[in-house]
Structure 1
Amino acid sequence: MKIEQLRIAGLRCFSEATLALDPGINVFAGDNGAGKTSVLEAVFLLSHGRSFRSGAREALLQRGASGLSIFAELRHADGRLARLGLGRTGSRWEGRIDGLNAPLGELVRECAVVCFDPGSHALISGGAEERRRYLDWGVFHVEHQFLSIWRRYQRALKQRNSLLRSYPLPADALFLPWEAELAQTGQQIDQQRQAYLDLLRPRLARSMQGLLGELGALELRYRRGWAEDQELASQLRVQRERDVTRGHTTMGVHRADWTLAFEHAPLREHLSRGQGKLVALACMLAQAELYAEHHGDWPIVCLDDLASELDQAHQRAVIGQLVGASAQILLTGTELPVAMRDLPARVFHVEQGELSRLL
């Protein structure tokens, strides 16, 4: 898929900007703080309904603006053109597809974007939430029922947590239906996650071999969030007293995690910061490849400040793989990366919310 036209209004430093993107490589160059990353952020918002920047929710809106909007014309591999819109007034997001109101779930299913940025190493070195988010994005684009099941699970989790905090403690009969719902939907989510990881493993191994072959064989370990040899429903009943003490549900798919181990770096603490970035990048590329194989269409790839995150050899390897796959690339930097100077690219200069095309 390729974005042909992009329009941004009221996002961070952009009062209004309209640009036509190249189907191949697009570079956004400018000084630090000029607004380059915000262009990638706009595209990512269409695909995820959130920013890839941590703590960015309240900072998205331009100072003094009443709302923000993002519009894109998206060309799919089959030639179909989708007109996508995302707007926010206050705290409420609204999506549109081809001029009609659309739930955010439909909007993010229509537009797929993967991103590598300076914070991506958190996928490897950070908490489990980031890894669950990565995993669930992939499952969402493979399993059409995943979102509805996930929402049912979240509703049951919220209700059980509310009961756990009630005083006096409610009777067992009030817990049982919510625990049954958690167990049923949790089992489905767990099965879908494991099936997705089975598909991802060989692609991840290939991607990792190309970027960090010196680490040796790869092992992907998955923990579903409760004991492997027991049913979730029975575990919830047994652990209810402990959960009352803690005030929240301590087991379930919301506690799941996955980790990577290497033959020559069995613990993530054995990885350097640079290696952690390359592992995160390999995860992104493997997920993009799996998406492309499933949909027949590569997701849009955003690479934020690539030159400061990777050495030139790895830059060339990554860009070469993406160009070979005919993926649309959106890349930022203070200047055109050396590794790309012999490749055709559309280059934009960004300065304080103003965009101008250089090449």
Structure 2
Amino acid sequence: MRLERLHLQRLRCIGDVSLEFAPGFNVLVGANGAGKTSVLEAAFLLSHGRSFRSGAREALVQRGGNGLNIFSSVAHEGGSVRRLGLGRQGSRWEARLDGQDVALGELIRECVVVCFEPGSHALIAGAADERRSFLDWGVFHVEHEFLLTWRRYQRALKQRNSLLRAESLPDAALLGPWEFELARTGTLIDQWRRAYLDALLPFLREQAALLLPELGAIELRYRRGWSADENLAEVLAAQRSRDQGRGHTTSGVHRADWSVAFEYAPQREHLSRGQEKLTALICVLAQAWLDAVRRGEWPIVCLDDLASELDLAHQAAVVDSLKQTAAQVLVTGTELPAVLAHQSARMFHVEQGQLTPLL
């Protein structure tokens, strides 16, 4: 798939601009703070319903603006073109697909974007919720029942936590139904997550051999959030008193985590900051490859500030690899990365929220 056109209104420093992208490489160059990353952020928002940047959601809207809008046309491999729209008024997202109001999840399923950016190292070095988000986004695009199941799990979790905060431990008749729902939906989510990681591993190995061969073979470690040989419903029942003391549910898929381990760097602490970034990039590219194989078309690949995040050799390895695919790639930098100097690409100059096509 590829973005044919992207129209942005009141997104951060961007007032009202439209871009038409080429099928292959597209490069946005300009000074820091000019608005380059906001273009990639817009594509990411269409695909995730959230930004990859930290901070308040209100910061997404241009100062003085009363909301933001993102419009795009997305072309698929078979020739179909879908029109996507995402708007934010106050605290609420509004999604449209081919002119019709749709649920946000339906819009997100239509546009697949993976992104490597300066904060991506948090996927390796950050909190577990970063890794769960990465994993669940991948599962969402595979299992159509995932979103509904995940929402039911979250609802049951909220209800159980509310009961646990009562002055005295509620009767089992109150807790039992919510624990049953947590166990039922949690077991499904766990199975889907395991299957996804199993499918991801061969692509992780390929990308690790390309970008970090000196660290040896790569493996995945997964912790589902409760003991592997126990039933979740039984665990929750046994932990009621302890959980009440803590005021929240301490076992379940909301406590899951995963990590990568290299043959010569079995612990995360063995990795340098640069190796953490490369490991995060390996995960992002592996996810793109897996999605391409399963869908029969490539997701859109965003590389923010490529030249600053990777040394020249690793930039070349990534660009050469992506050149062999049908992926549309959006790259940003303060100047044209040297590895793209002889690569056919559409270029845009970005200055104070204005974008000008150069080639």
- Shorter-chain TM-score tier: over 0.9
Counterpart of 2:256 in structure 1 is: 256
Tell me the amino acid that sits aligned with residue 343 of structure 1: Q
For residues 14 and 219 of structure 1, the distance between their equivalents in structure 2, rounded to whole angstroms, comes to 42
Describe the SS at the equivalent of 1:59: helix
For residues 269 and 58 of structure 2, the distance between their equivalents in structure 1, rounded to whole angstroms, comes to 33
Describe the SS at the equivalent of 1:194: helix
Counterpart of 2:309 in structure 1 is: 309
For residues 74 and 351 of structure 1, the distance between their equivalents in structure 2, rounded to whole angstroms, comes to 26
Describe the SS at the equivalent of 2:53: coil
Counterpart of 2:324 in structure 1 is: 324
**Range moving further from structure 2, 200-209 or 53-62:** 53-62
Matched, 1:228 2:222: no
| TM-score (structure 2 length as normaliser) | 0.99
Matched, 1:84 2:84: yes
Counterpart of 1:279 in structure 2 is: 279
For residues 145 and 233 of structure 2, the distance between their equivalents in structure 1, rounded to whole angstroms, comes to 22
Counterpart of 1:353 in structure 2 is: 353
Describe the SS at the equivalent of 1:10: strand
For residues 35 and 129 of structure 1, the distance between their equivalents in structure 2, rounded to whole angstroms, comes to 28
Matched, 1:152 2:145: no
Tell me the amino acid that sits aligned with residue 98 of structure 1: D
Give, in angstroms, the shift of residue 170 of structure 1: 2.3
Matched, 1:266 2:266: yes
For residues 279 and 97 of structure 2, the distance between their equivalents in structure 1, rounded to whole angstroms, comes to 35
8 Å Cα contact 2:169/2:241 also seen in 1: no
Identity among equivalent pairs (%): 66
For residues 220 and 25 of structure 1, the distance between their equivalents in structure 2, rounded to whole angstroms, comes to 31
| TM-score (structure 1 length as normaliser) | 0.99
For residues 168 and 244 of structure 1, the distance between their equivalents in structure 2, rounded to whole angstroms, comes to 9
Q: Deviations over 1:69-109 (max 9, x none)?
A: 00000000010000000000000001000000010000000
For residues 155 and 11 of structure 1, the distance between their equivalents in structure 2, rounded to whole angstroms, comes to 32
Extract unaligned runs of 5+ from structure 1: none
Describe the SS at the equivalent of 2:31: coil
Counterpart of 2:34 in structure 1 is: 34
Counterpart of 2:107 in structure 1 is: 107
Extract unaligned runs of 5+ from structure 2: none
Describe the SS at the equivalent of 1:15: strand
Describe the SS at the equivalent of 1:51: coil
Tell me the amino acid that sits aligned with residue 28 of structure 1: L
Tell me the amino acid that sits aligned with residue 282 of structure 1: I
Q: Deviations over 1:195-240 (max 9, x none)?
A: 1111111111111111001101112110000011110001001111
For residues 155 and 36 of structure 1, the distance between their equivalents in structure 2, rounded to whole angstroms, comes to 38
Describe the SS at the equivalent of 1:259: strand
Give, in angstroms, the shift of residue 49 of structure 1: 0.3
Counterpart of 2:340 in structure 1 is: 340
Tell me the amino acid that sits aligned with residue 205 of structure 2: A
For residues 132 and 6 of structure 2, the distance between their equivalents in structure 1, rounded to whole angstroms, comes to 30
8 Å Cα contact 2:304/2:332 also seen in 1: yes
Pairing 1:131-170 to 2, within 5 Å after superposition: 131-170=131-170
Give, in angstroms, the shift of residue 56 of structure 1: 4.3
Runs ≥4 residues deviating over 4 A: none
Tell me the amino acid that sits aligned with residue 228 of structure 1: A
Counterpart of 1:52 in structure 2 is: 52
Counterpart of 2:204 in structure 1 is: 204
Tell me the amino acid that sits aligned with residue 87 of structure 1: G
Tell me the amino acid that sits aligned with residue 14 of structure 2: F
Tell me the amino acid that sits aligned with residue 331 of structure 1: V
Counterpart of 2:218 in structure 1 is: 218
Give, in angstroms, the shift of residue 167 of structure 1: 2.5
Q: Deviations over 1:26-50 (max 9, x none)?
A: 1111001111100000010000000
For residues 314 and 75 of structure 2, the distance between their equivalents in structure 1, rounded to whole angstroms, comes to 29
Describe the SS at the equivalent of 1:58: helix
Give, in angstroms, the shift of residue 321 of structure 1: 1.4
Tell me the amino acid that sits aligned with residue 176 of structure 1: G
Give, in angstroms, the shift of residue 323 of structure 1: 1.8
Tell me the amino acid that sits aligned with residue 291 of structure 1: D
Describe the SS at the equivalent of 2:331: strand
Describe the SS at the equivalent of 2:163: helix
Counterpart of 1:185 in structure 2 is: 185
Counterpart of 2:5 in structure 1 is: 5
For residues 239 and 216 of structure 2, the distance between their equivalents in structure 1, rounded to whole angstroms, comes to 40
For residues 322 and 145 of structure 1, the distance between their equivalents in structure 2, rounded to whole angstroms, comes to 31
For residues 306 and 240 of structure 1, the distance between their equivalents in structure 2, rounded to whole angstroms, comes to 49
Tell me the amino acid that sits aligned with residue 86 of structure 1: L
Give, in angstroms, the shift of residue 303 of structure 1: 0.5
For residues 75 and 201 of structure 2, the distance between their equivalents in structure 1, rounded to whole angstroms, comes to 30
Matched, 1:121 2:121: yes
